[in-house]
Amino acid sequence: MTGRRTIIRGGLVLGDHGRAAPQDLLIDDGRIVAIENPGFDVSDDVELISASDRLLIPGLVNSHTHSHGALNRGAVDDKVSLEMFLTGAGASTRSRGLDDKYLSAALSAAEMIRKGCTACFDLSVEFPQASREGISAVARAYSDAGMRAVVAPMIADRTIYQALPGLLDALPDDLRSQCAALAATPIEQTLSACRVILANWEFDRRWIRPALGPTIPLHCSDAFLTGCADLAREHGVPLQTHLAESRAQAAIGLVRYGRSLVGHLEQLGFLSERLSAAHAIWLDDDDDIKRLGQSGVRVAHNPSSNLRLGSGVAPVRNMLKNGIAVGVGTDASNTSDGQNMFEATRLASYLSRIDGFATDAWLSAGDAFHLATEGSAKVLGFEKIGRLAPGYEADIVFLRLDSPHFVPLRAPLIQMVFGENGASVRTVMIGGRIVFHDGKLLTLDERLLRRQAQEAASRLDQANAETYASAATVARLVGIFCAAQGCTGHVLPRKLKVTCEG
């Protein structure tokens, strides 16, 4: 017992196995030290917080997001696929200064907290290259918001035109030369920037930790992937990549490597417990999933952005059967239009129901909530978040029980997972500190953030206008190319064939 002690009395506590019961929680130095029946004795110096008429749940954990997406909200057109997005205006992070990088992360953190999320895994990109200052600006935004985060520079050594064989040839002459001239930052330059970031981490790792994000296997040479894995091992940090997110990636991977993307990564020695794979949709149902399970790779499931970009449905039940730890993520605010973990969690459960009529195989509300808390915690590598239990961090969300979907109250877990949209969030505590209460974020000035965001959006849209205009034309052509690639007659994973033939 070392720090400030707090007792939360009168709440309905969502504990293990989804059971909710009236209990009191004692917190010391930001951690839960006891959960007991109501009214247990504490000394007079313990601060009292009333949670009467509240459901107390562990803070949701976002296993995959990109803070840079917050400043690009609204920049991604309707009917845009993944590869169109990657070549288009919405993905642009050009012309941003350090203040913009901080601002984008602060906007993202503010939304997550408002919607009951207390920790995230952020792959943050910088143009033209990753830097210690840029990643520190992002980490500082989370620190100022009072949130936990894993922050990884999102990196690659190939442009999309180098990543997808045949793409350049499919473009008209004028665009081909323009796109062929683009180049990613050389490997050594990027890896040495990452080395600097990892060697000089200045944030308390109880709260904010570093990682590496080699973005998409096809966008990274083998030497680059191996270099990232070596660096991660050397510094004891996690890695996250976007794996088999689109049908085109899986099809092109087969052509490029002569085996599936997972098979290729396995051969490189890239699969390990250190790695988490975001999306993981277009996998071979048997071999790939077994390989991921056997090597301890974790998965970040992103149902909202998978639907928004038309990427597909991840085989989550099969992953769980193979012992894979799966978390839930929102992905960036420019590809899923928000950081709402309640919605992502609900979608994770609902989407599991379109595969067949065997109700036993569906993800229950409890399963989905487990993924969005303890499953995501495994992706982040934080051992003591995602549960309300003694020894765990006091990351607690207080939900109002007078919200319509809780009235009448019969099954708090089901009513929360299937009915909550974040509007019932009354109070958010992270590490024993209240960071949001009664509609107000207590750590960041949201009015100021809004003003700064509008100013930055106008300035950046103007500075990037030329890039945006040419990106719009290229994006359409890339979309056509990738749609065709996804449906060619190469040896494709089972689901690819079914979809293409259907």
* Chain residues that interact with Zn ion, rule: CB under 5 A: 331
* Token couple for 85: 């997005």
CB of 331 to Zn ion, least distance (A): 5
CB of 66 to Zn ion, least distance (A): 6
Are the C-beta atoms of residues 444 and 70 closer than 8 Å to each other?
no
Q: Regarding beta strands 213-214 and 396-400, do their DSSP bridges make them parallel or antiparallel, or are they unpaired?
A: unpaired
CA distances (Å), 453 to each of 77, 100, 125, 320, 414, in order? 19, 8, 18, 40, 36
Is 151 in a helix, a strand, or coil? Answer: strand
SS3 letters across 428-489: EEECCEEEEECCEECCCCHHHHHHHHHHHHHHHHHHCHHHHHHHHHHHHHHHHHHHHHCCCC
Q: Identify which of residues 60 and 444 has a Cβ nearer to Zn ion in the complex.
A: 60
At residue 179, what are phi and psi to the nearest 5 degrees? -75, -35
Are the C-beta atoms of residues 61 and 376 closer than 8 Å to each other?
yes
Q: Identify which of residues 68 and 114 has a Cβ nearer to Zn ion in the complex.
A: 68
Q: Identify which of residues 331 and 343 has a Cβ nearer to Zn ion in the complex.
A: 331
Whether the link from the prior residue into 172 is cis, omega within 30° of 0, is no
Is 6 in a helix, a strand, or coil? Answer: strand
CB of 64 to Zn ion, least distance (A): 6
Q: Identify which of residues 246 and 403 has a Cβ nearer to Zn ion in the complex.
A: 246
Taking CB atoms, the residue at the shortest distance from Zn ion is: 331
Are the C-beta atoms of residues 50 and 10 closer than 8 Å to each other?
yes
CB of 244 to Zn ion, least distance (A): 13
CB of 440 to Zn ion, least distance (A): 30
CB of 438 to Zn ion, least distance (A): 33
Which residue carries 């004692």 as its tokens? 26
CB of 209 to Zn ion, least distance (A): 18
CB of 227 to Zn ion, least distance (A): 21
Q: Identify which of residues 250 and 430 has a Cβ nearer to Zn ion in the complex.
A: 250
CB of 246 to Zn ion, least distance (A): 12
Q: Which of 330, 342, 316, 354 is nearest to 417 (CA)?
A: 342
CA quadruple 492, 495, 499, 502: dihedral positive or negative?
positive
Are the C-beta atoms of residues 93 and 123 closer than 8 Å to each other?
no
Which residue carries 């499953």 as its tokens? 375
Residue positions counted in the chain: 502
CB of 123 to Zn ion, least distance (A): 6
Q: Identify which of residues 24 and 122 has a Cβ nearer to Zn ion in the complex.
A: 122
Q: Identify which of residues 123 and 449 has a Cβ nearer to Zn ion in the complex.
A: 123
CB of 319 to Zn ion, least distance (A): 18
Q: Identify which of residues 83 and 331 has a Cβ nearer to Zn ion in the complex.
A: 331
Q: Identify which of residues 340 and 415 has a Cβ nearer to Zn ion in the complex.
A: 340
Whether the link from the prior residue into 128 is cis, omega within 30° of 0, is yes
Which residue carries 């992706």 as its tokens? 379
The angle, 0 to 180 degrees and rounded to 10, between the axes of the packed helices 446-463 and 98-114 is 130
Helix (H) or strand (E) holding 268: helix 261-268
Q: Identify which of residues 126 and 331 has a Cβ nearer to Zn ion in the complex.
A: 331
Q: Which of 284, 282, 278 is nearest to 214 (CA)?
A: 278
Q: Identify which of residues 288 and 331 has a Cβ nearer to Zn ion in the complex.
A: 331
